[in-house]
């Protein structure tokens, strides 16, 4: 157990270091003309101004020194300052984080809650005529572009319920009900493709578990079918499912960036897209570092959870 | 193999849409970027099969050219990922030891980034354009191919025919190309098909965000973004562009899923 933990922790640190190094190097790859664009359209480009900008982004020092300064700052919460507003980018990110986090939590939560029973049901109707239909429906579900689904939902609600406010954002603390009602359509758009893929994973994990020896033994002992499914098969099927949920979370974030754009939600996605338009590299850099490290750590915790609940790994 | 229903349906969709994309210049009834304000936001009719957009451009012609962009970019990106990622995965498995650890660690780092976020980062450096989108998606998919091919390559590298080939004096390159690569064909085919399916969605997302294909070049994601403001007046462009993205992605997904069933029974039903 301690060895597994130590190994995983080492893996985690290596990946985090790699991510930070890559995100750091990113700013070195900015093409020269982009640096000039960063100066702004209304400013005459002089060598002095370029030098000042290079100093501002910190490109004038040796590479290693830059990295140490940058990562040292990041570790104590200083992620740099926005090129345009001069404000700390950490603050700008934190202000937007809540929206994206709420959207991700609602979509992932509802997809997981529905995928477990749906997957079990799909495993159960296997080998009937319904099997192909189930497969095709789930594949169609996976390939639905969530941003398109969002647009279609907005159109449908406009025709069917013209009074329903489907676009925009109300902070939860201002009006919880208005906040949640505006989150319904974005959540459906994001959750549906994930639901399709997670329920497929649940289905195959469940089929795998139902085919194991311990299930046959349990049945032979005369354990009721409900107990076989819920006490024996489901608990084992949840192990690969939990891993899949961890990976899905990262994928979901990509979807959220696009869906935020559709529903005009002021989250991280809009922040990044805006930052690209104005070439605000410190902001892009900080967002990518923060979000990616967040997902790496979440996946690590999920992994650890898995070690904790699976006696085979725990005692290995 | 060809009897498998998913392969049939998926293959038919892929071939149909591939042909539409290839033959777009000959079958498109209108110039995809020719504007004609008189026809703006028209619904579907005999003249405009799928309606016209806010500039009076024919949706059907634009979707044909959009397929060209979407499928083209996805093909290039999956090829990049397959060649680079696939080689890295196979080399890792073949040489083991430090090579393996180093390469796979690098792949772990790339894989740690949320897919679209990494693509956005790369595009923010290279500038938003069609070819940069292809490179960005290619890099993002590289670790997927490295990981998927490493496993089976590990098994192959240990197999008797590889050991025998080495015994009679075959060099590394010969073993890799003649003995290992052909045996990976089915895994490559399945993964390439499934990756094309998601690459089409990623390309559409990036174009939708305005950082993929740039106007006036027709692209399915861009059509969806541009028509959004007019969707309440005339939803046709939005609806058909979305359906086109969905069917393009669906074809490759069904094909890949069916191929997996038929080519590798061991993978049956797995994700």
Summarize pLDDT for B127-179 with one digit per residue, the tens.
888 889 999 999 999 999 999 999 889 888 888 888 888 888 888 888 888 88
Q: Determine the average pLDDT of the residues in B204-220.
A: 87
Is the confidence at residue B245, as pLDDT, over 70? yes
Q: Compute CA distances A148 → A151, A187, A209, whole Å.
A: 5, 13, 36
Cα B87 to chain centroid, rounded: 19
CA of B127 vs chain A CAs: smallest distance (Å): 9
Is the confidence at residue A41, as pLDDT, over 80? no
Per-residue pLDDT band at B80 (split at 50, 70, 90): very high
As a whole number of angstroms, the distance between CA A44 and CA A50 comes to 10
Look over chain B and give the mean of its residue pLDDT values, rounded to a whole number: 85
Q: B221-258 b/e with 16+ CB inside 10 Å = b?
A: bbbbbbbbebbeebbbbbbbbbbbbbbbbbbbbbbbbb
- Which residues in chain B are closer than 8 Å to A272, comparing Cβ atoms? 117, 120
Which candidate from A140, A200, A276 shows the least CB-CB separation from B120? A276
Total CB pairs under 8 A between chain A and B: 142
Which candidate from A15, A151, A197 shows the least CB-CB separation from B224? A151
Record the tokens describing residue A55, joined without a space. 């100093």
Look over chain A and give the mean of its residue pLDDT values, rounded to a whole number: 83
- Which residues in chain B are closer than 8 Å to A147, comparing Cβ atoms? 205, 208, 224
Record the tokens describing residue B13, joined without a space. 């969709």
Is residue A165 helix, strand or coil?
coil
CA of A159 vs chain B CAs: smallest distance (Å): 9
As a whole number of angstroms, the distance between CA B136 and CA B116 comes to 9
Instruction: Give the model confidence (pLDDT) of A187-201 as tens digits.
Output: 999 999 999 999 988
As a whole number of angstroms, the distance between CA A282 and CA B59 comes to 40
Residue B15 exposure: Cα atoms within 13 Å on the Cβ side: 6
Q: What is the pLDDT, as a whole number, of residue B202? A: 93
As a whole number of angstroms, the distance between CA A101 and CA A266 comes to 12
As a whole number of angstroms, the distance between CA A187 and CA A168 comes to 13
Q: Which of A129, A276, A278 to mutate to test the interface with B (most CBs of B within 10 A)?
A: A276
Q: Calculate helix-pair angle for B59-95, B236-263, nearest 10 degrees.
A: 30
CA of B167 vs chain A CAs: smallest distance (Å): 37
Which candidate from B106, B120, B246 shows the least CB-CB separation from A272? B120
Contact state of B271 with A29 under an 8 Å Cβ cutoff: no
Q: What is the pLDDT, as a whole number, of residue A315? A: 60
Q: What's the CA angle centered on A141, arms B267 and B234, to 5 degrees?
A: 150
Is the confidence at residue B244, as pLDDT, over 60? yes
**Interface pTM, i.e. ipTM:** 0.86
Q: What is the pLDDT, as a whole number, of residue B40? A: 66
Q: pLDDT over 70 for what percent of chain B? A: 90
Per-residue pLDDT band at B269 (split at 50, 70, 90): very low
Contact state of B242 with A140 under an 8 Å Cβ cutoff: no
Contact state of A200 with B271 under an 8 Å Cβ cutoff: yes
* Segments of chain A assigned E as strands: none
B241 or A302, which is more confident? B241
Is the confidence at residue B270, as pLDDT, over 60? no
- Considering A22-26, A305-309, B228-232, the range whose residues carry the highest mean pLDDT is A22-26
Residue A253 burial class via C-beta count within 10 angstroms: exposed 0-12, middle 13-18, buried 19 and up: buried
Q: Are A282 and A86 in contact (CB under 8 A)?
A: no
Which candidate from A273, A276, A292 shows the least CB-CB separation from B114? A292
**Which residues, 6 or more positions from B86, have their beta carbon under 8 angstroms from its beta carbon?**
B145, B146, B149, B184, B188
Q: Are B59 and B236 in contact (CB under 8 A)?
A: yes
């Amino acid at each position: 157990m301690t060895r597994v933990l130590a190994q995983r922790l080492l893996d985690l640190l290596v990946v985090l270091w790699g991510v930070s190094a890559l995100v750091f190097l990113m700013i070195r790859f900015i093409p020269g003309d982009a640096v000039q664009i960063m100066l702004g359209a209304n400013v005459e480009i002089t060598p002095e101004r370029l030098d000042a900008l290079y100093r501002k982004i910190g490109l004038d020092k040796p590479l290693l020194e830059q990295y140490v300064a940058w990562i040292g700052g990041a570790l104590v919460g200083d992620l740099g300052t926005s090129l345009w507003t001069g404000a700390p980018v950490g603050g700008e990110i934190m202000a937007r984080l809540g929206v994206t986090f709420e959207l991700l939590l609602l979509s992932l939560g509802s997809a997981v809650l529905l995928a477990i029973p749906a997957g079990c049901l799909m495993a159960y109707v296997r080998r009937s005529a319904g099997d192909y239909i189930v497969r095709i429906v789930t594949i169609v579900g996976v390939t639905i572009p969530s941003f398109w689904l969002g647009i279609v939902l907005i159109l449908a609600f406009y025709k069917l319920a013209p009074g329903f406010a489907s676009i925009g954002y109300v902070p939860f603390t201002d009006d919880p009900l208005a906040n949640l009602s505006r989150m319904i359509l974005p959540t459906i758009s994001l959750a549906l493709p994930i639901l399709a893929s997670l329920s497929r994973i649940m289905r195959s994990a469940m089929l795998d578990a139902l085919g194991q020896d311990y299930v046959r033994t349990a049945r032979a002992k005369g354990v009721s079918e409900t107990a076989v499914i819920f006490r024996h098969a489901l608990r084992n099927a949840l192990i690969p499912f939990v891993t899949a949920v961890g990976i899905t979370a990262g994928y979901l974030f990509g979807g959220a960036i696009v869906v935020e754009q559709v529903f005009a939600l002021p989250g991280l996605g809009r922040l990044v897209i805006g930052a690209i338009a104005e070439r605000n590299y410190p902001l892009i850099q900080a967002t990518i570092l923060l979000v990616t490290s967040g997902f790496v750590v979440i996946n690590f915790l999920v992994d650890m959870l898995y070690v904790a609940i699976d006696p085979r790994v725990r005692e290995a | 193999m060809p009897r498998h229903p998913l392969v049939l349906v998926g293959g038919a969709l892929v071939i149909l849409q591939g042909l539409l994309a290839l033959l777009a210049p000959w079958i498109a009834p209108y110039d995809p970027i020719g504007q004609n304000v008189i026809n703006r936001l028209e619904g579907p009719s005999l003249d405009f099969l799928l309606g016209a957009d806010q500039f009076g451009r024919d949706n059907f012609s634009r979707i044909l050219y959009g397929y060209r962009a979407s499928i083209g970019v996805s093909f290039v990106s999956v090829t990049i990922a397959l060649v680079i990622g696939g080689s890295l995965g196979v080399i890792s498995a073949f040489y083991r030891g430090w090579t393996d650890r180093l390469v796979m660690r690098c792949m772990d780092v790339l894989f740690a980034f949320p897919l679209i976020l990494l693509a956005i980062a790369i595009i923010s450096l290279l500038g938003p354009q069609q070819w940069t989108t292809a490179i960005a998606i290619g890099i993002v998919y590289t670790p997927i191919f490295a990981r998927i091919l490493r496993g089976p390559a590990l098994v192959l590298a240990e197999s008797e025919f590889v050991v025998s080939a080495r015994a009679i004096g075959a060099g590394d390159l010969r073993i890799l190309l003649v003995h290992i690569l052909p045996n990976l064909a089915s895994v490559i085919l399945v993964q390439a098909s499934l990756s094309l399916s998601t690459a089409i969605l990623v390309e559409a997302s990036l174009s939708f965000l305005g950082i993929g294909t740039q106007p006036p070049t027709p692209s399915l994601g861009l059509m969806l973004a541009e028509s959004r403001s007019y969707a309440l007046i005339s939803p046709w462009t939005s609806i058909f562009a979305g359906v086109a993205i969905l069917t393009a992605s669906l074809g490759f997904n069904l094909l890949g899923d069916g191929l997996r069933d038929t080519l590798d029974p061991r993978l049956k039903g797995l994700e």
